[in-house]
Chain A
Amino acid sequence: MTDHAQSSFVYVTYVKTTPDRLWEALIDPDFVAQYWLGNRPEAEWRLGGSWKLLFPDGRVADQGEIVAFEPPKRLGIRWRNEWKPEFNAEGYSICMMELEPAGEGVKLSVTHSIERADSPFIAAVSGGWPKILSNLKSLLETGTVVLPNKP
């Protein structure tokens, strides 16, 4: 969408698990690395804490800070791309992850937005999110991921 000079994407998946287990899956670095295409978070998990995502080789992919921390309901991260100059120039994006109990599972909604119309950064991450979320769902439900590495 392009009005209010904002670009955003919304992703929703339903996972057969509990809110506590899903929350743990969002912040446990070893667990995250299994579904986030090998990338690993390094963060101070509290409101205002720093947050980084590292490539498997240790380079910083993205970095920013935690802007919402309400276990097991809401996790918000404000981050900027650090490896591609064009994306880095777009500045900070906000990624909000919301968990809600739904029947025998949990509804996980991820909204990723940036205050900028037609953002190439948001368009690029929109290709990655469905794979990451499918992996997360599959890992929690079956113990294995569909796509272990970068496509």
Chain B
Amino acid sequence: MPTDDDIFRALADPSRRRLLDRLHVTDGQSLGDLCEGLAMTRQAVAKHLAMLEAANLVVAVRQGREKRHFINRVPINEIAERWIGKFDQPRLSALSALKQHLEGEDND
């Protein structure tokens, strides 16, 4: 099973983030589609895709003779909740308390 470390390692590379961006724009692309317009060899793209798949950030589905690649938003959502949402929450609560105070809800 992929771990958080696999996900962060996969996201730590700009070429892999670029591939995710491209899948975000057009989902379900083949290796050939993804290579188009990139200054990377087909082998390099295939290697990066394999790492994204191992981290469960990309899911490859065989359709006929082709393998199509789909961005998998579930681990990204889990990271956002586990590593971002939790640190953002106190700040949001503080802002909402300040807003209530300024708007006078506590005053009467």
Chain A positions near chain B (C-beta within 8 angstroms): 1-2, 8-14, 16, 102-105, 109, 111, 126, 129-131, 133-134, 137, 146-147
- Inter-chain CA distance A40–B77, complex, in Å, is 23
A104 CB to nearest chain B CB (Å):
7
Chain B positions near chain A (C-beta within 8 angstroms): 1-2, 26-29, 56, 59, 61, 68, 70, 72-78, 81
* B56 and A12 form a contact (CB under 8 A): yes
A10-B72, A16-B1, A133-B77 known; 9 new pairs, CB 8 Å cut-off, are A1-B68, A1-B70, A2-B28, A9-B27, A10-B59, A10-B70, A11-B72, A11-B74, A102-B1
Contact among B1, B27, B70, B76 for A103, CB-based, below 8 A: B1
- Inter-chain CA distance A14–B3, complex, in Å, is 10
B2, B59, B76, B77: which has the most chain A beta carbons within 10 Å? B77
Residue of chain A at shortest CB distance from B76 = A130
B61, B70, B73, B81: which has the most chain A beta carbons within 10 Å? B73
Q: A10 and B1 in contact (CB under 8 A), knowing A1-B27, A1-B28, A134-B74?
A: no
Is chain B's binding surface mostly helix, strand, loop or mixed?
mixed
**Across the interface, which residues of A come within 8 angstroms of B2, CB to CB?**
14
* A14 and B77 form a contact (CB under 8 A): no
* A109 and B28 form a contact (CB under 8 A): no
Residue of chain A at shortest CB distance from B86 = A146
* A8 and B59 form a contact (CB under 8 A): no
* A134 and B27 form a contact (CB under 8 A): no
Contact among B27, B29, B76, B78 for A137, CB-based, below 8 A: B78
A21 CB to nearest chain B CB (Å):
16
Residue of chain A at shortest CB distance from B53 = A12
23 example contacts (A-B, Cβ-Cβ < 8 A) are as follows: A1-B26, A1-B29, A1-B68, A2-B26, A8-B28, A8-B70, A9-B70, A10-B59, A10-B70, A11-B72, A12-B59, A12-B74, A13-B74, A13-B75, A14-B2, A102-B1, A104-B1, A130-B74, A130-B77, A133-B74, A134-B78, A134-B81, A146-B81
